[in-house]
Structure 1
């Protein structure tokens, strides 16, 4: 009798269980080979659906095939029990969790007790029947040699996650091949193949760059990064000042390093979605070629909610499929997406992790990593570099002193810039001014900023930005241009239009004054002669200075650090201990924020005072105890959780408003292809803190998941405004 693994596909052909088990095992072995766990992954892949061999499950499949329903009979216990009997211990959870997620050890024990008790007849029956057609299920595998020698207490945790990823992805792919009746193509290009293409496109892009000192220094940074790329797999740092061409230098290092070390892909992770989109656009221009399969995958929270059922263009279809497992030679994602996947236990999130092995992982704007999660994050990065053939590049103008933390001590670090102090001095294009004692009032700051022909004002909260924007509008001359505003309370299309117009005015030399929240600080390419920055942490102030005289057209730009009386409380709440340490190291009579020697001391004191290594101890303890669900619950990169808010009336075009409302209604009724519908809604989506959305429930209407429709006012100048949101950033 033939045992079946899946019901008939559109050709009327069923998927035999032996083919599925062996196909999954073969793919899992291939996925895990880069970290030398192919044998282990192969065996767990072969075991994952052994429970389907039971008579009840086989009968259930035939019934479901006739009705179009679900089988509804558990099938995970047989393979899980067999793996545990073969000495695979915590790795048996890979089999149990391949649909629902990696379990805790206590949950795994309970399920094994069920397999030994109530479910024993079905377990024995399934193993007996499957072993007759797939006898290799009875022979246990060995463990990778390196896991026995490792002194890293987290090595097992990461290996379980990686093997789970290898098996889950293999199961998805083998099942999809059956139902699609054709194999899914593997991307034919690796990162190493892209070096020549990147260099040619980069040279063409820079051919018309003006002969300015800053461009000569950018070439120097790039050359040093590429020279350092010849080094071995490991941990690297790129301490590159703002405006020094870090985006290109990091990519150049990553591609050349991949070629030198036989690595498969580059993964660039950045802190904010706006930078993800901006960087992905730059990299696509350098690496994607018309008529060829795309190589740059942009993947963030706006892109993978489900699979559209309608026919999509080949390039879009590739992006949708590649996002599932990062099968692309060049991935641009967010740090939230990356690390919440690394610490997740859910199959869809973990599925892509095995493709991090054998990759260059670029963490851009690494200073944005949250202090309370530094211990597990740095521990994870260390394990990846030491045992999973991963190179990690920490890129930042304000390089944190991670090497002074216990978790990173004695780990070799390669600095791509041998003499960063000289580079920072050479690229110093601004003059700092402190306006903190006596503290000005907001009207004084607004008047001084409004008197500038071109300036950028950066505040710590949305309420502060709205206050200064209002005052600057009052101070501007009647015949002068409006004051521009930027925050995530505005829809993405609204912000994009503002940024496009701001850049256009800057290029033309027209008057342009902008008030913004912190969203412009990291990676947004703006170049103002004067920048006003509300007093904040040292790295925030230096990042703000990176928007001043960015391209070196002036001898010196002007950065005014102000501290408005009455703004202390929300600032302290946002920045915590880091703000107090900043006040001790930086300010009048102390250092400027671009002093990297003092910056190193600042980070060391800040991490010590915040108790960084104690803050993540609970997560580390749960990792050692293989409590995967608890780790996933504890690991939250965003403390102040924001939710997407769609605003149909953010556009004055009535046709667009009607289309927006039609898309919203389709989402509400559960129409097929919600990912495509959401992509089409993205221009009309802003962000609000979840607490405010809950508080103003009368002004919102649920759409799908966290997404809500905003029914309240929306101002073209500043987006959504609420009087009780004084302490919220962005």
Structure 2
């Protein structure tokens, strides 16, 4: 008798449980092979839906498909527990395992690592021990009674893999676990197992969704041939780089130095994988040089993808557009700004096998299966630590990659330890090469969980001489002499416009930026004034920047006012920059938007203190401002201190050391409600795990577990940005068409493309903004509430988000 995994919506074709389990096993094996754990991942794949070998589930799915108006009760059938329970039964029984204590231990760990992934594949990894001093994992695999469990095991071995072959398969998985742990002897064992569990969970979730999607669309899975693509891409890149030799200014000192640094990156690509630094100064050709390294290194060391991780405060579409044009490939270069679909951590097991809006969204391809990816630091950290299965599905695709962290000094302070742990895992275990790319390398080695940077990590030679050669600006301190408000700042801006024509003002808060913009529009008369903030979608900001660039190229007067988003990854060159006092890294990045190519000799960057900025809730910016102010005061008293410049290597070292020391209690993601660091929840050993110790005291015995960490609790509390934001699609330009299309019925493939396109037309709103929009009728929900969009009046052609929902409609003709 055939047992059913899925029933295709279009033609009611059945996918049997055996077909699905074997298909997921094969995909999971291929994903797990990148870490050398193909059998561990395959074991999770072949067992994940073992619970569908029941009459109960077959009746459930037939009832749901044949009687959609009278669906069975949600949650009435549990099919994800059986596989994890079977592993627990087989591998936690020491009498049947082995006479070797070491062998018993490895089998127990295997049951817990693979078993947790199996029972969690419709939600998120379970706590082994939670804050309530109970074990959600044990409740499922040990305590829960499954009515057809014995029959399920029999049917599994008859249809999927016989018992003898299955035992041999487990032996291979145990051997992989042993090899993995032996290769991580220098690492905290619980940390190594936490990363392994997350990797297996990622491989399983992606394999399950990919197989289900292929069945639903009646297609086959095709992996990307990265080797051929990267060879072609490299030829196109070199054609572009070589074309620079024909330019009139090809022999200028800066362009010769850019070419030399690019050549050094190409030579460095021949080094084996590791964690390296690329400290090209701003304007030094960092994007093309790092891409040259990545493409060459990927070919030499068989990497499968190249991933650019850019600060959450920046504009990623400019870099991705530049790379698309050079590589002449529109389709296979992925931008991932944010999750358009709101992550749902609710268990959706009761919907498995059926096709509804929620399942269609779940299956939409969102797994970073692309050769080149541009994403943000928020999304990178979410892959490892955030709740729900959508984020972690991407984790296995970070392995065997070249990962370039642009402006790495922007890692949020609370996430430093978590970032370092993730990067060290990718380098040491997942065969990825890491490039920390910035003009101001932070002092991340001061923290407890240090990055394992290679001994000779820097790609560029003679950095001090390079910095001197790239000197294009003088930093003028006005911050320690007087304070500005928007009126006095506007006067200063107009004075500089008359003198140099193009002025960029970078301030710390959106409200002050907007107020200055409004005031300057009234004062500037004929000078064009532009405004940028994260209240605008990416395409909107892109259009504004294109207009600004035209003025700059034509050497016409122009004023641009922006938050810090313009400081990283934006190729613009103003004759004058005014920066509100902030951390030294921010001042350095703002300076990189001034006289970028050295075309105007040496120009001025003015640092001011703006008294109208409220930094009460921006503690990192506020503390950075305080430290920078102290360094400026030192320089004002004695110009020879700190290497004679606020942007010297000595000043930067002082700044980062003091900055991270001040925040040392926050570097490991402290959770006030639990009075614990997240690192304890994820990877503390049993002696240091307070939940484990309290469990033993309360129950009077130790739990029958090797692992005792609280994965789900940690994920539920994790936020890269403290106030959780929600992504909404905005009715700007093509965004309006995307919103309209959400009302239609799309295939999974069409929905995938639509959601990718929507990336550039989203903004992230805070809870209070969401509440205001709801009160003012400015939000509309689509696809069962999983996607939100702004109504037309809630988006303004100048300011972006409009909480009052009373914007004029002119912009919708764009």
Q: 1:61/1:572 Cα in 2 relative to 1: closer, same or farther (>3 Å)?
A: closer
Give the equivalent residue in structure 2 for 1:602: 655
Give the equivalent residue in structure 1 for 2:353: none
Once residues 599 and 654 of structure 2 are traced to their aligned partners in structure 1, the CA distance between those partners, rounded to angstroms, is: 32
Answering whether residue 778 of structure 2 is matched by residue 701 of structure 1, we say: yes
- What stretches of structure 1 of length at least 5 have no aligned partner? 307-319, 724-730
Give the equivalent residue in structure 2 for 1:623: 682
Give the equivalent residue in structure 2 for 1:147: 180
Once residues 8 and 796 of structure 2 are traced to their aligned partners in structure 1, the CA distance between those partners, rounded to angstroms, is: 54
Give the equivalent residue in structure 2 for 1:61: 61
2:259 to 210, 215, 219: 219
TM-score under structure 1 length normalisation = 0.87
Give the equivalent residue in structure 1 for 2:704: none
Give the equivalent residue in structure 2 for 1:727: none
Give the equivalent residue in structure 1 for 2:299: 259
Answering whether residue 210 of structure 2 is matched by residue 173 of structure 1, we say: yes
Once residues 2 and 177 of structure 2 are traced to their aligned partners in structure 1, the CA distance between those partners, rounded to angstroms, is: 34
Give the equivalent residue in structure 2 for 1:77: 81
Give the equivalent residue in structure 2 for 1:466: 514
Contact 1:699–1:712 (CA under 8 A) maintained in structure 2 = no
Answering whether residue 476 of structure 2 is matched by residue 433 of structure 1, we say: yes
- CA apart distance, 1:613: 3.7
Once residues 505 and 634 of structure 1 are traced to their aligned partners in structure 2, the CA distance between those partners, rounded to angstroms, is: 46
Q: 1:534/1:124 Cα in 2 relative to 1: closer, same or farther (>3 Å)?
A: same
- CA apart distance, 1:258: 1.4
Q: 1:247/1:304 Cα in 2 relative to 1: closer, same or farther (>3 Å)?
A: farther
Q: 1:437/1:571 Cα in 2 relative to 1: closer, same or farther (>3 Å)?
A: farther
Contact 2:577–2:593 (CA under 8 A) maintained in structure 1 = yes
Once residues 48 and 516 of structure 1 are traced to their aligned partners in structure 2, the CA distance between those partners, rounded to angstroms, is: 49
Give the equivalent residue in structure 1 for 2:3: 3
* 419-428 or 133-142, larger mean C-alpha shift: 133-142
Question: Residue deviations 1:246-301, cap 9 Å, x none?
Answer: 111111111111122222211111124863211111111122348xxx43222232
Contact 1:213–1:552 (CA under 8 A) maintained in structure 2 = no
2:156 to 130, 140, 158: 130
Q: Equivalent residue of 1:431, what SS?
A: strand
2:532 to 483, 486, 497: 486
* 265-274 or 244-253, larger mean C-alpha shift: 265-274
Q: 1:29/1:569 Cα in 2 relative to 1: closer, same or farther (>3 Å)?
A: closer
Give the equivalent residue in structure 2 for 1:95: 118
Give the equivalent residue in structure 1 for 2:420: 378
Give the equivalent residue in structure 2 for 1:35: 35
1:446 to 490, 498, 510: 490
Q: Mapping of 1:550-699 within 5 angstroms?
A: 550-567=596-613, 569-570=615-616, 573=619, 575-587=621-633, 588-589=635-636, 591=642, 592-611=645-664, 612-615=666-669, 618-624=677-683, 625-644=708-727, 660=736, 688-695=765-772, 697-699=774-776
Give the equivalent residue in structure 2 for 1:199: 238
Once residues 321 and 199 of structure 1 are traced to their aligned partners in structure 2, the CA distance between those partners, rounded to angstroms, is: 38
Give the equivalent residue in structure 2 for 1:315: none
Once residues 47 and 559 of structure 2 are traced to their aligned partners in structure 1, the CA distance between those partners, rounded to angstroms, is: 63
* 72-81 or 140-149, larger mean C-alpha shift: 140-149
Q: 1:259/1:683 Cα in 2 relative to 1: closer, same or farther (>3 Å)?
A: closer
Contact 1:288–1:295 (CA under 8 A) maintained in structure 2 = no
Report the number of matched residues: 697
- CA apart distance, 1:226: 1.4
- What stretches of structure 2 of length at least 5 have no aligned partner? 92-107, 344-361, 671-675, 684-707, 805-814
RMSD: 3.3
Once residues 2 and 696 of structure 1 are traced to their aligned partners in structure 2, the CA distance between those partners, rounded to angstroms, is: 51
TM-score under structure 2 length normalisation = 0.78
Q: Mapping of 1:397-546 within 5 angstroms?
A: 397-408=439-450, 411-413=453-455, 414-442=457-485, 443-451=487-495, 452=497, 453-476=501-524, 478=525, 480-546=526-592
Question: Residue deviations 1:316-344, cap 9 Å, x none?
Answer: xxxx9995322222111122112201223
* 17-26 or 262-271, larger mean C-alpha shift: 17-26
Answering whether residue 251 of structure 2 is matched by residue 241 of structure 1, we say: no
* 144-153 or 5-14, larger mean C-alpha shift: 5-14
